[in-house]
Structure 1
Amino acid sequence: MRILLVDDSALARGILKVGLEQAGFQVVGLASNGQTGYELARDLVPDVVIMDINMPVMDGLTATQKIMSDCPVPIIVFSSQLDGPASFSAIANGAIDIMHKPSIAEYNNPVFIEEFRKKIIAASEAKRIFFSGSGFSSPGRAVSAHDRAGTIGLVVMGASTGGPVAVSEILAALGPELGSGIVLVQHLECGFDASYAEWLQGQTRLKVSLASEGPVPGPGCVMIAPVGVHTVISGNSIQLEDSDPLFNQKPAVDKLFSSAAAVYGSRLLGILLTGMGSDGAAGCADIIRCGGYTLVQNKETASVFGMPKAAIELQAASEVLSLSDIPARIRTLCGGFPL
């Protein structure tokens, strides 16, 4: 796999190049600023670009936007900015994922290299999406979305690679009149959850916050599962559970979905979006088994089809929809109240 590294630190570039090559990747280009990174991405057509944010000449946000406009290729933002939404601005500009930039002393850490390897592989499977605006229903479901209109008491949502943009597209199309609250698990690097919630708040009229122990979110509100604990539903309340990771994820989508299904039954809507692996598939199956309803993103609009595909293969998708069709279905199922 061919990698382009864009970082203004010569030391960082050198150490990362060695680590990535030892992990089996081919580093085909090195750039010290966004302008050079853009030019190399255009000329070399790498499989994945690793992009720093703060650089001279042209920053990573602008370079990401130019690359995705002129010569699209999967981009991973490599950022130390944990306390602000800049990294997610790069996601809005077209980057596929974010990875926390550790201290240079950690670059040779085998755990870091392995996590980086997984991120790169997931990014390489992503594709640039052109929304078709059409979906299709999964066959064999006896109860339609129309029959369920206005019956949903809680929405649970899960996403991984490619998820920040997909989630923002959905939430941007929903308003505070939405008749149900939403709890979201987005697989994120440790430390990015607060800045993700801050960035997401700027994309929607819904009220967005990090989840904490207490009541589930009310109508028109979204709670983001914090990184480092599982977010589960128990007795109409949110609990933060410090148990082992599931699918190497903490929080895990399955933990949220399955616990919510046991409480809400037929009044639960589960939404599974883009991501690598199978987290959320078993949770969707539990939602169906308990009488709930699931919406799964289709292959044509999912950056990475792994998680949705796993749910579909388990016959755990009530409907398989394009990303652009999901908000309207949410509004139908959740109903609303006058502002």
Structure 2
Amino acid sequence: MAHPLRILIVDDSALMRRLIRTMLEQDPELTVVGEAADGREALIRVAELRPDLITLDVRMPVMDGVETTRQIMAYQPTPILVLTASLSRYDIDITFQMLDSGALDVMEKPALGDNDALERARIALIRKIKLLARVKVVTHLRGRRKLQEAQAVPPPVSPPPSRPSGTFPVVVIGASTGGPRIVQQILAGLPANYGAAVLVVQHIAQGFSAGMVEWMRTRSVLPIKLAQAGETLQIGTVLVAPDRLDMTFETDGRIKLSDHPLLLQRPSIDITMQSVAEIYAAQTTGVLLTGMGRDGAMGMRAIRRAGGYTIAQDEASCTIFGMPKAAIDLGVVEAVLAPEKIIEALINRIAPKWGGSG
């Protein structure tokens, strides 16, 4: 690396800023160029210092993490890693609003106490920063317009009756860095009478999957829930893999959740796609979205070999094009589309559910 990555730390706690600085400065490829104690000060520091990445707190005085993210992404687009100390529903909601406004990813703040845990947190934080600092972010105009988008909460949808395994369409969506916002956009675009079961495998830091589900529910007319072992797929229902657990299926279609200690990435997109393809074959549609690495490429190949359909997100709309590109290079992608076109393809490919109107 020719020049150290320049990091700005934004947190209202002086102790936390000092801890993060100490952790980062142990790596010669990183340098902390500044600190800020609130969002308004952060805007000034970003303009002055032009950092390669910002670690950004959620709750701060003067200007919270959401508005700070909106302003940074509107005027000085910079990779942002959200750091939160709480997994409360309130803080999780703010965190996902920050991701929706242009922040790239989220992690829990390192906690004092256990030295081994602190060292693991340091390694994970540095690895994440080095990945995200190289992402080319784009301007988000929402912060300039300052429009508060009123999101009407849809009425609850009664779950449709379950069907025997292998007799109805299943959509498997896999995503990693930059994925939550795109997954939410896709789910929000599917109609209430959607004629497929939908599975989501999103790489996200441990402890955040339940909050992500709550956040995605605010814009979708489809019921969305965390998958539970033993339940069966239902048409028109979205099931999300819990963090750190792989979602597979028994031959009768019941969900099985497992922990594979040898896998570096859990939940695994490959494992879920392969399991679904084995049972639902040509009824399976695979959608692979933004993310680093190759997870999902082999799963998309399994879907294609089973006669199913495969879609990858296009490079222009990806935060990181790694996962879609791996599947495209493998020759197992039938359509490369922007998110809005993915919605159209999923609707056009799958008829409304039984008993639903067109």
Tell me if both proteins adopt one fold, taking TM over 0.5 as the criterion: yes
Cα deviation for residue 106 of structure 1 reads 5.6
Q: Which amino acid aligns with 1:244?
A: P
Assess if the C-alpha contact under 8 Å between 1:245 and 1:252 holds in 2.
no
Tell me by how many angstroms 1:186 deviates: 0.6
Matches within 5 A, 1:6-21: 6-21=10-25
Q: Report 1:208-223 matches (<5 A).
A: 208-223=224-239
What does 1:133-148 correspond to in 2, within 5 Å? none
Among candidates 253, 259, 270, match of residue 242 of structure 1: 259
Aligned AA (1:255): I
Q: Which residue of 1 aligns with 2:293?
A: 277
Whichever residue aligns with residue 45 of structure 2, its letter is L
1:174 to 190, 193, 211: 190
2:103 to 67, 91, 95: 95
Q: Which moved more, 1:17-26 or 1:252-261?
A: 17-26
1:190 corresponds to which of 199, 206, 229: 206
- Check whether the contact 1:278–1:310 (CA below 8 A) recurs between aligned residues: yes
1:147-171 per-residue CA deviation (whole Å, 9 max, x = no partner) reads xxxx961001110100011111111
1:146 matched to which residue of 2?
none
Task: Say if 2:56 is the partner of 1:51.
Answer: yes
Q: What pairs with 1:1-339 in structure 2 (closer than 5 Å)?
A: 1-23=5-27, 24-84=29-89, 85-105=93-113, 109-129=118-138, 153-235=169-251, 236-246=253-263, 248-337=264-353, 338-339=356-357
- Mind listing any 5+ residue stretches in structure 1 that lack a counterpart? 132-150
What CA distance in whole angstroms lies between the structure 2 residues aligned with 1:178 and 1:106?
A: 48
Asked if structure 2 preserves the Cα contact closer than 8 Å seen for 1:152 and 1:269, the reply is no
* CA-atom RMSD in angstroms: 1.8
SS in 1 for 2:317: coil
1:142 corresponds to which residue? Answer: none
**Partner Cα distance (2:313, 2:104) in 1:** 17
Contact 2:110 2:122 in 1 (8 A): no
Shift of 1:217: 3.3
1:175 Cα offset (Å)? 1.8
Secondary structure in 1 aligned to 2:173? strand
Q: How far did residue 266 of structure 1 move? A: 0.8
Would you say the 8 A contact 1:129–1:303 is kept in 2? no
Question: How far apart, CA to CA, are the structure 1 residues paired with 2:218 and 2:174?
Answer: 20
- Shift of the alpha carbon at 1:60? 1.3
- The 1:121–1:215 alpha-carbon spacing in structure 2 relative to 1, beyond 3 Å, is same
What's the % identity of the aligned pairs?
37
CA offsets per residue over residues 45-101 of structure 1, 9 Å max, x none? 211110001111211111111101111111111012313222111111211111112
Moved over 6 A (4+): none
* Distance change >3 Å, CA 245–CA 42, structure 1 → 2: farther
Residue type matched to 2:104 in 1?
A: I
d(CA) in 2 for partners of 1:69, 1:328: 29
Contact 1:270 1:287 (8 Å CA) reproduced: yes
Aligned length: 319
- Kindly state the Cα deviation for residue 129 of structure 1 after the two structures are TM-superposed: 4.9
Query: 1:309 is matched by which residue type in structure 2?
Result: K
TM-score, normalization: structure 2? 0.85
Q: Deviations over 1:254-311 (max 9, x none)?
A: 1111111111111100100000111111111111112111100111110011111111
Q: Unaligned 5+ residue runs, structure 2?
A: 141-166
Partner AA of 2:131 in structure 1: A
1:183, distance to aligned residue in structure 2 (A): 0.7
Asked if the contact 2:111/2:118 (under 8 Å) is kept, the reply is: no
Retained in 2: the 8 A contact 1:2–1:26? yes
Alpha-carbon distance in 1 for matches of 2:25, 2:271:
36
